[in-house]
Chains A and B, each alone.
Chain A
Amino acid sequence: MSQAATGHKAFKAQLTKYYSFYTGGFLVFLFALAAAEQMGMSRQWIGYWFLFATIGLYAGIGIMSRTVDAAEYYVAGRRVPAFFNGMATGADWMSAASFIGMAGTLYLTGFDGLAFVMGWTGGYCLVAFLLAPYLRKFGQFTIPDFLGERYGGNVVRSVGIFAAILCSFTYVVAQIYGVGLITSRFTGLEFGIGVFVGLGGILVCSFLGGMRAVTWTQVAQYIILIIAYMTPVVWLSVNITGNPVPQLAYGQVLQKVTEREKELTNDPKEIEVRGLFKQRAEALDTKINDLPASYEAEKAAVSKKLEDLIASSAPEEQVNAARAAVDAFPKSPEAAKAAWTAAKSTATAKSAPPRPHAQPFPGKDEAAQNIARNNFLGIVFCMMFGTAALPHILMRYYTTPSVRQARQSVFWSLFFIFLLYFTAPSLAVLAKYDVYHFLVGSSFADLPAWAANWARVDPTLLSITDMNKDGIVQLAEIVLGTDIIVLATPEIAGLPYVVSGLVAAGGLAAALSTADGLLLTIANALSHDLYYKMIDPHAPTGRRVSVSKALLLVVAFVAAYVTSLKPGDILFLVGAAFSLAASAFFPALVLGVFWRRANKWGAITGMVAGLGVCMYYMYTTYPFFGGVAANQWFHMNPISAGVFGVPVGIITIVVVSLLTPEPSKKVQELVDHVRYPHLRGDIDTQAA
């Protein structure tokens, strides 16, 4: 056995030992806090302990892994064993949206939400078969590196840099938002301060040690997030089914939920409440049609109500509510139109009977159902191809010691990701069982404790209004936010508060780890690809790493600033990042390996065309940019723009490449080089 091999083996054994101790230590920490809770530690202190202990831990790992060496900084020295790289990729991959939002999305949309579950796991098949081993053999630092070498020239590299920054930045804003939300909710700190505390945790890590620190922190974060996700679900499953394996047990529960859906659809009280929502939607519709005249009338009515209440010296809470209504009243007829349209669509949704959880593609007729099916498959397509094109994920496969381990590493990555996604559908059904059977039908005076708590803490997560004034909760009277399912599960399952703190720590780990990976990708694209490869190729290593660190700070603060503006629809941003990445990168990367004939002009035009079509489609169909649904092609939602971008990219590369001269002999040798893990007399592209 060679010296290097012995070194790798010893390193792996050492890592296994460290992380076993770490996991043990974390469990001891949990039990200690649980004991402290029994002895009367307050909830706020438990929140602080989780926040500062975990961020302190990540910072500690960051400080221990600090480095100024280029290979260490950019690719963790290329000695991360497959198993650990799998965990790191898992944490890198699973964002706040996956951890906190996924089960809730499945709860609200039933079968249709599975598009994300399938897309975010099945995409790894493409990574494994088409990209990871070849990128590892190529063995440089970034994705634009590969494009630059394979196709030659700075134009391709520049398009790569632009696309990498575009999709990573869109994605990182969503993560920092998640960090701020969790920190503020569990410690009572303000949202803005929460963002900066979290940002501190992100920066200490990636700033000091680059990929090396981020990798070892992400492994630690994965362990926390998976313990945090599994504990409450297993407990809830035991409570409801008596079986500790929720993934097997929930079939029976799903049947009970389906029966209950039928009962609730025909229940007279439910029908009455749905009727009230229908009236409300119609009233709003009238108001919207009468704009702008109705704006002044409504405004006057709201003010008059407040004056009347003050004049008749009504109870203070009624006066306060009326005052809040005056303050919240839209500032202009345009704002009123937006607000009322949103309220109308909520009311219309609530006037429909509950959506059958297991039924795919609901719709009023065959045509509507087919459109729903096409959109389902469209989201699956974009999430999968986006997975196989997001630079922060592909970059991780540069860090394994060999091609062999890169292949195994994709398996471990998907395995660790699978553990969470395989569980989310069962959590959604178990929570639905609980809500449909115990929350629905309880009296307003005596709500289940978890519901009463969360409704008081945050009405956007859970609000229950007695529409028909019968004092009993009807299903149609409950409004749930997606995040409530994961956040409230510990309480639904009757677990102590320390488990709620654990879940928050898990969500924080998920958000921080993804943000770390993304920030690093952006900073590397700027420092390595733009500065070193294009502006100053003679820059010494030390300066390259310093430039990267400086840029990391700048990018982090710009991202935090954009986050503090609270840009609209986070879920759309995440979806958009996938569509953009798929359209820009997937065709050029895969054809670069599998089609020798693909050349520079094909790649440039293909990437620009793919990205262009994708952006154009979003621009003309997404309401935020002033787009309208009438511009849609084949009724595809804007989030699935990649369905058009990817094929356009592939066709353009093929056609343009065939019309222009074939690539040079040197490039063709590079293609052979990446196809074989080892060739005698081979060229060496690995960057040190």
Chain B
Amino acid sequence: MELSEKHRQYWHKNLLVTAILLVIWFVVTFVEGWYARELNAFTFFGFPFGFYMSAQRSLIVYVVLIWFYARYMNALDMEYNVEEGEDE
């Protein structure tokens, strides 16, 4: 089994989207967590901002990231003809 140029492209796109999403994940989790004290100086919908980010907003971001990844990759499979047979 030989991989074509197209296959390599597919894998590179996969790596790229994975890296971008992981950067967002890292910022939301660790960078914002690091500065939670400073962020708490602001208020958002009545919440101290740092608290709100950790308790609510981060969780929403995680769900959206995974939703986006599944959608993007499932479309990419089709585009590069590496999708499996229909399953639903």
Binding site for B on A (CB under 8 A): 1-2, 4-5, 8-9, 12, 81, 111, 114, 117-118, 121-122, 124-125, 128-130, 133, 247-248, 251-252, 254-255, 358-361, 369, 373, 376-377, 380-381, 384, 401-405, 407-408, 410-411, 414-415, 418, 421-422, 425, 594, 669, 672, 675-683
Contacts and interface: CB of A to CB of B under 8 A. Distances in A.
Chain A CB within 10 Å, residue with most, of B37, B45, B60? B37
Contacts of A380: 29-30, 33
A-B pairs, 3 with minimum CB distance: A251-B46, A407-B70, A360-B36
Given A421-B59, A677-B77, A361 B46 contact: no
Contact of A411 (B25, B30, B66): B66
A167 B25 CA distance: 26
B34 A130 contact: no
A138 to B, nearest CB: 14
Nearest to A252: B46
Contacts of A411: 63, 66-67, 70
Interface in B2-42: 3, 7, 10-11, 14-15, 18, 21-22, 25, 28-30, 33-34, 36-37, 40
Interface string B55-83: 11011101101110110011001000011
How many B residues touch the partner, as a band?
35 or more
B59 A2 contact: no
Contacts of B63: 411, 414-415, 418
B43 to A, nearest CB: 9
Contacts of A415: 63
A432 to B, nearest CB: 13
Chain B CB within 10 Å, residue with most, of A2, A129, A377, A683? A129
B88 A12 contact: yes
B62 A677 contact: no
Contacts of A405: 87-88
Nearest to B10: A676
A252 B43 CA distance: 11
B62 A683 contact: no
A407 to B, nearest CB: 4
Contacts of A12: 88
Chain A CB within 10 Å, residue with most, of B3, B60, B66? B66
A128 B29 contact: no
A414 B61 CA distance: 11
Interface majority SS on A: helix, strand, loop or mixed?
helix
Interface majority SS on B: helix, strand, loop or mixed?
helix
A248 B45 contact: yes
Given A114-B51, A411-B66, A677-B83, 4 more contacts: A128-B69, A360-B54, A672-B1, A677-B77
Nearest to A384: B29
Interface of B: 1, 3, 7, 10-11, 14-15, 18, 21-22, 25, 28-30, 33-34, 36-37, 40, 44-48, 50-52, 54-56, 58-60, 62-63, 65-67, 69-70, 73-74, 77, 82-88
A149 to B, nearest CB: 17
Contact of A672 (B3, B47, B69, B73): B3
Given A254-B47, A401-B87, A125 B54 contact: no
Chain A CB within 10 Å, residue with most, of B51, B55, B70, B85? B55
A672 B59 CA distance: 33
A395 to B, nearest CB: 19
A590 B40 CA distance: 35
A4 B87 contact: yes
Contacts of B66: 124-125, 128, 410-411, 414
A359 B40 contact: yes
B1 to A, nearest CB: 5
B59 A81 contact: no
A640 to B, nearest CB: 14
B87 A125 contact: no
A87 B3 CA distance: 37
Contacts of B55: 114, 117, 425
Given A1-B86, A360-B36, A402-B87, A118 B54 contact: yes
B88 A122 contact: no
Contacts of A133: 73
B56 A422 contact: yes
A235 B44 CA distance: 25
A358 B40 contact: yes
27 contacts: A111-B36, A111-B51, A117-B55, A117-B59, A118-B54, A122-B59, A125-B22, A125-B65, A133-B73, A247-B56, A252-B46, A358-B40, A358-B51, A360-B37, A373-B37, A380-B30, A380-B33, A404-B83, A408-B74, A415-B63, A418-B63, A421-B59, A675-B14, A677-B82, A679-B1, A679-B3, A681-B1
B21 A129 contact: yes
Chain B CB within 10 Å, residue with most, of A248, A373, A411, A680? A411
A676 B50 contact: no
A421 B52 CA distance: 14
Nearest to A669: B1
B31 to A, nearest CB: 10
B3 A8 contact: no
Given A410-B70, A411-B66, A418 B84 contact: no
B69 A129 contact: yes
A4 B30 contact: no
Nearest to A422: B59
A373 B28 CA distance: 15
Contacts of B51: 111, 114, 254, 358, 360
Contacts of A414: 62-63, 66
Contact of B46 (A254, A373, A594): A254
Given A128-B69, A254-B46, A410-B70, A121 B36 contact: no
B38 to A, nearest CB: 10
Given A254-B46, A360-B37, A411-B70, A5 B88 contact: yes
